[in-house]
């Protein structure tokens, strides 16, 4: 007769045998790792504790079932770079990683544990969505997962990586999390797939065209990160976690810097071109001032007129929002406003100070933008900056005109320390627009209007569009030597360490959606 302990061992043996060569080959042949391999790569060696490994799939009267233990998802917790993280990895080998009731219950359990213990949670998605044969039980499973995503929002970091299909319900849980990774060529996300598109619209489209990593990393902006393969995606997740605290009551970790705090960079004095309409590359400024020149960019291929990402300065984690003069002259449009607003919200949720590097001629004009609601979407950025209570520092490098000056963390909306380089142009509008309005009559009557326009523009820059009026009136705190930007920012960042402000009590704010 089988002893109690033998029974225990036999059960373990059965589970191990489930992960045979055929199991591995099925995923490897598609250029993907298995759920188990992904989990092993994600966690520090020998730290992962699996939960509910023996969950059986529900028995159903219609459609296929499976005999596999675990119901198509591996769940548990462990250490990532020494910090506790919960995770789940969907197993496409079991009923296409589809979400049945047992599968959902396992995810719900780790969501609850992550929230209870103040630990980040990572979801590795590879799923055909709601398990068709389990019907409404699958839908309810998703509903319960979505609810927990929302309850955890702003409390613990939630990270999703799409590493295969994410169809139907499988897209909405990631959409409710803080960051979405996608793996090039092997992942795609859509609410309704190519078959439905064909049936409803009679259009032929491939999964890649409809919702591949190239679409979501550039056009839609749904994906914050696109990596080449499973391995680099998982490395990316670990890097991202290194900038985040475990929850909203902790601060991000401090890392004693090897890079000198008082390092100056004289090349920054010449980085702004003499011609105010010429672009330069904002990445050169960012790389120059952050610790070890290391910048971890978020959504780097979407709305490239604004740059967002994490770095450290003097060892402190900082979120950077920077206009990029090389794309659309650094103007604010709908996509860049939404991208930056979301990033600011994440920084504020997780106690990450924000550094704004400003060079923005204004909002992008035109029918397209106005009709698509730039008023509402630009207001998101204004709202996010104003509402955030983390330390906020701005450096105006060049243009800071009109509404864009106000929106990009001006002192009036709550900037704590606002600096300007000598090249800053701070005014209601640029010289051309201002002169056309103020001197319309004079220009119309002039013998040489081009020459007169030039003269007015030079006078306007000299008298109005410079940093000194703002400095004298306190709208910026100091005009600084560009070479000293790094030590100056680190100094005030340290001084803001204990910043504390409270907002009026309310149920929640009403950000323009
Ligand atoms: C049950 C599923 C499944 C599902 C896939 N499978 N999706 N089983 N429910 N939703 C099974 C298949 O039957 C197959 O089983 C195995 O998984 C692998 O699937 P394949 O189709 O062979 O793989 P592939 O060709 O790679 O295609 C993957 C796929 C496709 C694109 C994901 O399977 C697919 O379109 N699935 C359905 C997607 C979908 O519409 N889901 C429901 C969405 S509604 P065998 O035994 O043959 O290996 C939804 C509601 C929630 O999610 C909405 C909330 C807002």
Atom of ligand 1 nearest to the CA of 64: 46
Count of helix runs (H) and strand runs (E) in the chain: 20, 16
- For each of the chain's 513 residues, which pLDDT tens digit applies? 789 999 999 999 999 999 999 999 999 999 999 999 999 999 999 999 999 999 998 888 787 888 899 999 999 999 999 999 999 999 999 999 999 999 999 999 999 999 999 999 999 999 999 999 999 999 999 999 999 999 999 999 999 999 999 988 889 999 999 999 999 989 999 998 899 899 999 999 999 999 999 999 999 999 999 999 999 999 999 999 999 999 999 999 999 999 999 999 999 999 999 998 899 999 999 999 999 999 999 999 999 999 999 999 999 999 999 999 999 999 999 999 999 999 999 999 999 999 999 999 999 999 999 999 999 999 999 999 999 999 999 999 999 999 989 999 999 999 999 999 999 999 999 888 899 899 999 999 999 999 999 999 889 988 999 999 999 999 999 999 999 999 999 999 999 999 999 999 999 999 999
Q: What is the pLDDT of residue 57?
A: 86
Q: Which of 127, 217, 207 is nearest to 172 (CA)?
A: 127
Question: 132 by DSSP, 3-state: which?
Answer: helix
Residue 165 beta carbon below 6 angstroms from any ligand 1 atom? yes
For ligand 1, atom 19, the nearest C-alpha belongs to 96
- CA 109 – ligand 1 centroid, Å: 24
Instruction: Indicate left, alpha or beta for 72 from its phi (over 0: left) and psi (-120 to 50: alpha).
Output: left
Tokens at 334, concatenated: 């709908």
Give me the residue spans of the domains in the chain. 33-58+65-243, 266-424+466-496, 429-465
Residue 225 — φ and ψ, nearest 5°?
-140, 140
Residues noted as catalytic: 168-169, 403-404
Annotation: CATH topology of 33-58+65-243: 2-enoyl-CoA Hydratase; Chain A, domain 1 (3.90.226)
Residue 142 beta carbon below 6 angstroms from any ligand 1 atom? yes
Contact 218, 60 (CB under 8 A): no
- CA 170 – ligand 1 centroid, Å: 11
Annotation: CATH topology of 266-424+466-496: 2-enoyl-CoA Hydratase; Chain A, domain 1 (3.90.226)
ipTM over 0.95: yes
Contact 50, 93 (CB under 8 A): no
Question: 130 by DSSP, 3-state: which?
Answer: strand
Residue whose CB lies within 8 A of the most ligand 1 atoms, among 26, 65, 96, 199, for a mutation test: 96
With residue 36 as reference, give the H or E element that holds it: helix 35-42
**Other C-beta atoms lying within 10 Å of the C-beta of residue 368:** 11
- CA 135 – ligand 1 centroid, Å: 13
Rounded Cα–Cα distance for residues 254 and 243 (Å)? 9
Rounded Cα–Cα distance for residues 412 and 416 (Å)? 10
The pairing of beta strand 425-427 with beta strand 478-479: unpaired
- CA 100 – ligand 1 centroid, Å: 12
Q: Find where tokens 């188990």 sit.
A: 36
Atom of ligand 1 nearest to the CA of 139: 51
Atom of ligand 1 nearest to the CA of 207: 31
Question: 177 by DSSP, 3-state: which?
Answer: coil
For ligand 1, atom 17, the nearest C-alpha belongs to 96
Rounded Cα–Cα distance for residues 162 and 187 (Å)? 6
Beta-bridge partner residues of 308: 298, 321
Q: Which of 53, 63, 61 is nearest to 98 (CA)?
A: 63
Residue whose CB lies within 8 A of the most ligand 1 atoms, among 63, 94, 128, for a mutation test: 128
Buried b (16+ CB within 10 A) or exposed e, 461-487: eeeebbbeebbeeebbbebbebbbbbb
- CA 344 – ligand 1 centroid, Å: 36
Atom of ligand 1 nearest to the CA of 129: 52
Residue 128 beta carbon below 6 angstroms from any ligand 1 atom? yes
Contact 193, 209 (CB under 8 A): no
Residue 73 — φ and ψ, nearest 5°?
-155, 140
Q: What is the pLDDT of residue 338?
A: 98
Q: What is the pLDDT of residue 223?
A: 98
Rounded Cα–Cα distance for residues 282 and 407 (Å)? 19
Does 266-424+466-496 match 33-58+65-243 at the fold level? yes
Residues 234, 238, 244, 248: is their CA dihedral positive or negative?
positive
Summarised one tens digit per residue, pLDDT across range 383-422 is: 999 999 999 999 999 999 999 899 999 999 999 999 999 9
Length of the chain: 513
Q: What is the pLDDT of residue 233?
A: 98
Residue 280 beta carbon below 6 angstroms from any ligand 1 atom? no
Tokens at 399, concatenated: 């243009």
**Other C-beta atoms lying within 10 Å of the C-beta of residue 428:** 13
**Other C-beta atoms lying within 10 Å of the C-beta of residue 221:** 19
Q: What is the pLDDT of residue 1?
A: 78
Q: Find where tokens 């520092």 sit.
A: 393
Q: What is the pLDDT of residue 168?
A: 83
- CA 253 – ligand 1 centroid, Å: 41
Tokens at 16, concatenated: 């191990």
Residue 382 beta carbon below 6 angstroms from any ligand 1 atom? no
pTM for this model (two decimals): 0.95
The Cα-based distances of 259 to 225, 288, 292, 487 in angstroms read 27, 11, 6, 11
Burial of 334 (0-12, 13-18, 19+ CB in 10 A): buried
Residue 96 beta carbon below 6 angstroms from any ligand 1 atom? yes
- CA 318 – ligand 1 centroid, Å: 41
């Amino acid at each position: 007769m089988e002893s109690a302990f033998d029974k225990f061992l036999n059960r373990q043996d059965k589970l191990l045998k489930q992960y045979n060569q055929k199991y591995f080959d099925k995923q490897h042949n598609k250029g993907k790792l298995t759920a188990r391999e992904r989990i092993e790569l994600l966690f520090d060696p020998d730290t992962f504790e699996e939960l509910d490994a023996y969950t059986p799939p529900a028995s159903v009267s219609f459609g296929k079932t499976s005999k596999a233990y675990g119901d198509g998802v591996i769940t548990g917790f462990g250490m990532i770079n020494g910090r506790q993280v919960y995770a789940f990895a969907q197993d496409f080998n079991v009923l296409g990683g589809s979400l049945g009731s047992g599968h959902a219950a396992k995810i719900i359990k780790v969501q609850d544990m992550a929230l209870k213990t103040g630990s980040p949670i990572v979801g590795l998605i590879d799923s055909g969505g709601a398990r068709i044969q389990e019907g409404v039980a699958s839908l309810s499973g998703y509903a319960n997962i979505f609810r927990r995503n929302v309850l955890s929002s702003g409390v613990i970091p939630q990270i999703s990586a799409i590493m295969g299909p994410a169809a139907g319900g499988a897209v909405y849980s990631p959409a409710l999390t803080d960051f979405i990774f996608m793996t090039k060529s092997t992942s795609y996300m859509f609410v309704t797939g190519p078959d439905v598109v064909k049936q409803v619209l009679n259009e032929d489209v491939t999964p890649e065209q409809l919702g591949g990593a190239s679409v979501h990393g550039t056009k839609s902006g749904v994906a914050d990160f696109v990596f080449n393969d499973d391995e680099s995606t998982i490395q990316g997740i670990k890097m991202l976690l290194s900038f985040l605290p475990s929850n909203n009551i902790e601060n991000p970790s401090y890392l004693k810097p090897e890079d000198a705090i008082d390092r100056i960079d004289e090349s920054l004095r010449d980085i702004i071109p003499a011609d105010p309409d010429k672009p330069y590359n904002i990445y050169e400024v960012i790389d120059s001032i952050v610790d070890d020149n290391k910048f971890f960019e978020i959504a780097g291929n979407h709305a490239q007129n604004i740059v967002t990402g994490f770095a450290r300065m003097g060892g402190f984690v900082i979120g950077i929002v920077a206009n990029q003069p090389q794309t659309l002259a650094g103007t604010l449009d709908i996509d860049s406003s939404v991208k930056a607003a979301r990033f600011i919200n994440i920084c504020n949720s997780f106690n990450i100070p924000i550094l704004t590097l400003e060079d923005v001629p204004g909002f992008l004009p035109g029918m397209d933008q106005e009709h698509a609601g730039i008023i509402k979407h630009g207001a998101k950025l204004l709202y996010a900056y104003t509402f955030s209570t983390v330390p906020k520092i701005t450096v105006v490098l060049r243009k800071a005109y009109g509404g864009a000056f106000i929106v990009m963390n001006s002192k009036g909306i709550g900037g704590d320390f606002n600096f300007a380089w000598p090249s800053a142009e701070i005014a209601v509008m640029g010289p051309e627009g201002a002169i056309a309005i103020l001197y319309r009559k004079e220009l119309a009557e002039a013998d040489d209007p081009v020459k007169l326009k030039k003269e007015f523009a030079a006078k306007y820059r000299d008298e109005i569009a410079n940093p000194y009026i703002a400095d004298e009136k306190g709208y910026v705190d100091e005009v600084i030597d560009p070479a000293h930007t790094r030590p100056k920012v680190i100094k005030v960042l340290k001084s803001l360490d204990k910043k504390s402000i409270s907002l009026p009590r309310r149920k929640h704010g009403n950000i323009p959606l």
